[in-house]
Copies of this chain bind each other. A is one copy, B any other.
Amino acid sequence: MNTSDVKALVFDVFGTLVDWRSGVAREAAAFLQRHGRTAQEADVFADAWRARYQPAMEKVRSGERPFMKLDVLHRENLDQIASEWGLDHTKVPAAELDALNQAWHRLDPWPDTVEGLTRLKSRYIIAPLSNGNVRLMIDMAKHGGLPWDAILGAEVAQAYKPAHEAYLRTVDVLMLLPGQVCMVAAHNSDLAAAQKCGLRTAFIPRPHEHGAMQATDLKPEGNWDWVAQDLIDLAKQLGV
C-alpha cells in the first residue's frame, strides 16, 4: 500500500491507545472498598459500566436525544450501575460519583503508544477520532503524554462513531480527501465504518483490552490497508 497520499492519521482511543479496563477498575476498586464491597469486583464493575457505552450513544445516533458529551453519558451510566449495585445517591454523595467518572480522564497508555505517536507525528498530522469528548481527551493527553496535533472526534463532529458523519466531518475539518486520512483502531467495526467512508485503515490488535479472556478483535477481519503489531510497528511500516 502506497503511503505517499496519507497526510493524517486519526485514532480510536479507548482500547487502541489506552487501557480503559485496568484504569477504570483501579479507581473503581478504591470506590467499592469504601462502600462495603471488595476490590475483586472492580473488573466486573468496569465491564458493566462499559457495557452501557454503546446503548447510550445509540440514543444519540438514532436521534432519540441530541448530542451529549461522553462525560455526560458516562455519568448517567454510572448512576445506573451504582443503583444496580446498591450504591446509589442514598448512600454515595454525588461528588464521589463525579470523581469516579473522571477515571476515564486518567487512563494509562499502552507501553508503545507514546513512542509510536511521537514517531508518527514527525511526518503526519495525528489526532484522536474518539467518541470521548474534547476535555476528556485533553486531560488524558496531559496525564499520559499523548502528543496530539489537535483534538478531533465525536464532539467536534457532533456525531458518534460509527455514524459516517463522525468520519466525514473529521476529514472536512482536516481539509483532506477521505483517502488522505487513515483510521487507526483495534476494533474491526470502527475500521469497517471508516473504510465505507473512503478512509484508509490500519488495524492494531489489543488482545488484552477486555482482559485475559478476550474473544473479539483478536485479528484483522477486513481488507485493511495496514496491519501492525503495535504503534511502533505501524510507524516503521509507514516509514518513520
Contacts and interface: CB of A to CB of B under 8 A. Distances in A.
Contacts of A156: 134, 156
Contacts of A42: none
Contacts of A142: 125, 149
A27 interface: no
B173 A150 contact: no
A135 B174 CA distance: 5
A141 interface: yes
Interface string A172-184: 0111000000000
A151 interface: yes
B125 A173 contact: no
Question: Interface size for chain A: under 10, 10 to 19, 20 to 34, or 35 or more residues?
Answer: 20 to 34
A169 to B, nearest CB: 11
Nearest to A176: B135
Count copies of this chain in the complex: 2
Given A142-B149, A150-B151, A151-B150, A71 B175 contact: yes
A79 interface: no
Interface in A49-73: 69, 71
A137 B137 CA distance: 18
A71 to B, nearest CB: 7
A135 B71 contact: no
Given A134-B173, A135-B174, A173-B135, A149 B141 contact: yes
A46 to B, nearest CB: 23
Interface string A128-142: 000001110110011
A155 interface: yes
Interface in A134-192: 134-135, 137-138, 141-142, 148-152, 155-156, 173-175
Contacts of A71: 175
Nearest to A126: B138
A13 to B, nearest CB: 14
**Ranked 7 nearest A-B pairs via Cβ:** A150-B151, A135-B175, A134-B173, A138-B149, A138-B150, A135-B174, A125-B138
Given A133-B175, A134-B152, A134-B173, 4 more contacts: A69-B175, A125-B138, A135-B175, A138-B149
